[in-house]
Amino acid sequence: MKEAIETLAGPRSLGQGPPSWLADVAVRDPRLAYCLTRMSGAVGVDGCLSFGSPEIINVVGRFDSGSAGTTVQAQVQGLLDADLWIHSITYTVRRPNAFAGNILKSVSDFFNAKNPNIDFELIINSFCRYLIAATPTPLENLPMIFDCSCPVGMVLSCASSIKGHFTLNRNLAPSEIPTEVIISLIAMRLPTGVYGGCTNSVAIAALREYGLILSEPSGIPPC
């Protein structure tokens, strides 16, 4: 498949954030690449991608109890009113009362977020079923897991469902209550109905017409 794509830069290595080139996307998801070619300003003349103004969907969990083993259900904040390309993912952990007023609070919060002793589960049902974490997984592994399991991101429809849980693995100090976990899905809005309205074969034919695909590709993941 890689040899079938005319690219100005090779596909990204895992763990390097969102893809920078249209060819990187076409290797993994021809339908998404086709959508991007239908968007004004999304693809430069050299095939470089422009992400424009992001839309953000937050997946939030709040611990009002500090006992180890406590599990809370994630709440989704943001509107899924269009097809969205989730190209990046990040997280943060907030403890507003911990070390409040202390000059070293930001240092404490920074290192706590690096190893918060919180596990997460995250499953997204959309055009595909994205098992980001089907079993309890350390929160700090989230960016790496996303890059490995979704190399060019994932596409959410307006009918998508996002289900998640967060679990404490240690007792919180009284000053750490409440603790809030926020996973942010950073997205680009796609043209309505284009991704779901075409197949891989249709997208590949269009990309070949545009001169992006030079020969018959193979190995397209069945999604």
C-alpha distances (whole Å) from 92 to each of 109, 139, 210 are 9, 9, 41
Residues facing residue 85 across a β-bridge: 155, 188
The model carries a pTM of 0.84
| DSSP 8-class letter at 216 | -
Per-residue pLDDT at 20: 81
Cα angle: 54, vertex 144, 82; to 5 degrees: 30
CA dist 2 and 35 (Å) reads 19
Residues facing residue 131 across a β-bridge: 123
Residue 78: phi and psi, rounded to 5, are 130, 160
Q: Give yes or no for residue 218 having a pLDDT over 60.
A: no
CA dist 196 and 194 (Å) reads 6
Q: Where residue 216 falls among pLDDT bands split at 50, 70, 90? A: low
CA atoms within 13 A on the CB side of 147: 14
What are the tens digits of pLDDT across the range 98-147? 999 999 999 999 999 999 999 999 999 998 889 999 999 999 999 999 98
Comparing 8 with 182, the larger pLDDT belongs to: 182
What are the tens digits of pLDDT across the range 3-13? 333 333 344 44
Q: Where residue 2 falls among pLDDT bands split at 50, 70, 90? A: very low
What are the tens digits of pLDDT across the range 44-62? 767 788 777 789 999 999 9
- What tokens appear for 188 in the block? 């680009």
CA dist 78 and 185 (Å) reads 10
72 contact partners, CB below 8 Å, separation of at least 6:
61, 62, 63, 165, 166, 167
Q: Are strands 75-77 and 129-138 parallel, antiparallel or unpaired?
A: unpaired
